[in-house]
Structure 1
Amino acid sequence: MLNHLQFAVVALLAVPLLRERVTPVMWLGLAGLLAGALLGTDAGALRWNGGAALVLASTLLFGAGFVVARHLLRELSTSTVMVAKMTAGSALLVAYSAATGRLGAVAHLSGRQWSFVLVSGAILVAFTAATLVAIRYAQVTSVVAIGMAAPAVTLVLQEAAGRAVRPAPADLGALAVTVLAVLVVIAAGVRAEQAAAPPRRLAPTT
């Protein structure tokens, strides 16, 4: 559940730090996202341990990272922010692998394993590029909240690939609430952007 709360972290940081205007309708949509996350969670299976602490830290860093990126995009180009983000992430990953003594395993990867590395890396680059372009022109709160629809998209893709998974009724209800909440957030975000845009001046007529 913790990793599904990035949108809440972003909203709580973006309002005071970026001065984003979150309308009551958008707060309603965010509350719906929280409800969807709770409905899809087995409360009895929740345990606080080292793994949960890492997931919480990841969630906080993910949210804070996109808020920082939105701030930087006010002064820097999308490509500059993207390169800095990917370079810093790669450097930290290499440093962690070296510190834990696992960096040498890279030399023993098979061709198939390298193909997975390249494909997953390309997907990560595409995700980062698309997200940064989106938050350059829209509220970061809205953009990150849209990502909550990912489980529904995954379900559709699995169905299309012939690997259908039959979710429990409670999970389907949670997905329905989440998708509806995402649509509310999108609509509220579009209206907020339109309201914040300067009025267009009509050309003088002769």
Structure 2
Amino acid sequence: GLIHKTLFVWVMILAIPFLKERVSAWQLVGIAMIFGANFLIGGFKGFRFNGGELMILAATILWAVENIIAKKALKDISSTTVAASRMIFGSLILLAFIAWRGGGEAVFSLSGTQWMWTLLTSALLCGYVLTWYTALKYAPATYVATLLVPATLVTNILSALFITHAFSLTDFASATLYIVGAAFVILFAKRAAETSPTLQTIARAI
């Protein structure tokens, strides 16, 4: 989980040279807090640095590259068009891979219930991608990627309420870092927008 949660770090590394985004020192403090919140609840416990984990790291970096490419495309294309293209071409690639692995027959033998859940989760994914690309169109890529990470806080709270029925001191410390870190990112992104005409839309929206 920690490897995937470094996505915003890779996006920031790529966004500064390729998108000319600026990140203030206080925003870096907020980003460090959010990363620390993830590290606190997971850390490197269980890491083996094996092939599987290297593949997760490669996928995370590729997702960061996607953020940069999408941000470039969204300058001239609507978020709906870019999101639809991503979903359609992504689905075609997945279907081609399934067919290549000899699983095409399994796809067409799904039951009605299985198709219902497939379509439902696909609709949720479409909504997520559209929302994400819309945010990416109007906000800096680093900002959007960073604010995806605190979603882990929601997962932890739901887990504490319905699964573990406990909220430890570590969970509390992690939640605090998430909240304070996100506040730093939002606050100082807004201040940066006040000095940058291209970010005025973001400042008014926050």
Q: What TM-score range do you get, normalising by the shorter chain? A: 0.7 to 0.9
Instruction: Give the match for residue 186 of structure 1.
Output: 186
Once the two structures are aligned, what percentage of the paired residues are identical? 28
Structure 1 residue identity aligned to 2:129: T
Instruction: Give the match for residue 203 of structure 2.
Output: none
Q: 1:96 to 1:168 in 2, by over 3 A?
A: farther
Shift of 1:156: 4.2
8 Å Cα contact 1:7/1:145 also seen in 2: yes
Shift of 1:164: 4.7
Shift of 1:133: 0.8
Shift of 1:65: 0.7
Q: 1:167 to 1:107 in 2, by over 3 A?
A: farther
Instruction: Give the match for residue 196 of structure 1.
Output: 196
Taking the aligned partners of 2:13 and 2:31, their CA distance within structure 1 comes to 11
Taking the aligned partners of 1:13 and 1:173, their CA distance within structure 2 comes to 30
Shift of 1:50: 2.4
Counting only pairs closer than 5 Å after superposition, residues 115-154 of structure 1 correspond to structure 2 as 115-154=116-155
Taking the aligned partners of 2:187 and 2:66, their CA distance within structure 1 comes to 24
Shift of 1:185: 1.0
Instruction: Give the match for residue 94 of structure 2.
Output: 93
8 Å Cα contact 1:13/1:64 also seen in 2: yes
Shift of 1:194: 2.4
Provide, for residues 140-188 of structure 1, a one-character-per-residue CA deviation record: whole Å limited to 9, x for no partner. Answer: 11111111111212344567xx625335432332232123212211222
8 Å Cα contact 1:29/1:181 also seen in 2: yes
8 Å Cα contact 1:148/1:182 also seen in 2: no
Q: CA RMSD in A?
A: 2.0
The structure whose Rg is larger is 1
TM-score, normalised to structure 1, is 0.87
Q: Which runs of 4+ in 1 moved over 4 A?
A: 156-159
Instruction: Give the match for residue 103 of structure 1.
Output: 104
| Long gaps (5+) in structure 1 | 201-206
Shift of 1:51: 1.8
| Long gaps (5+) in structure 2 | 201-206
TM-score, normalised to structure 2, is 0.87
Taking the aligned partners of 1:4 and 1:54, their CA distance within structure 2 comes to 14
Aligned residues: 197
Taking the aligned partners of 1:36 and 1:144, their CA distance within structure 2 comes to 15
Any idea what SS the aligned residue of 2:21 has?
Answer: coil
8 Å Cα contact 2:34/2:182 also seen in 1: yes
Any idea what SS the aligned residue of 2:150 has?
Answer: helix
Instruction: Give the match for residue 163 of structure 1.
Output: 162
8 Å Cα contact 2:156/2:171 also seen in 1: no
Instruction: Give the match for residue 37 of structure 1.
Output: 38
8 Å Cα contact 1:149/1:182 also seen in 2: yes
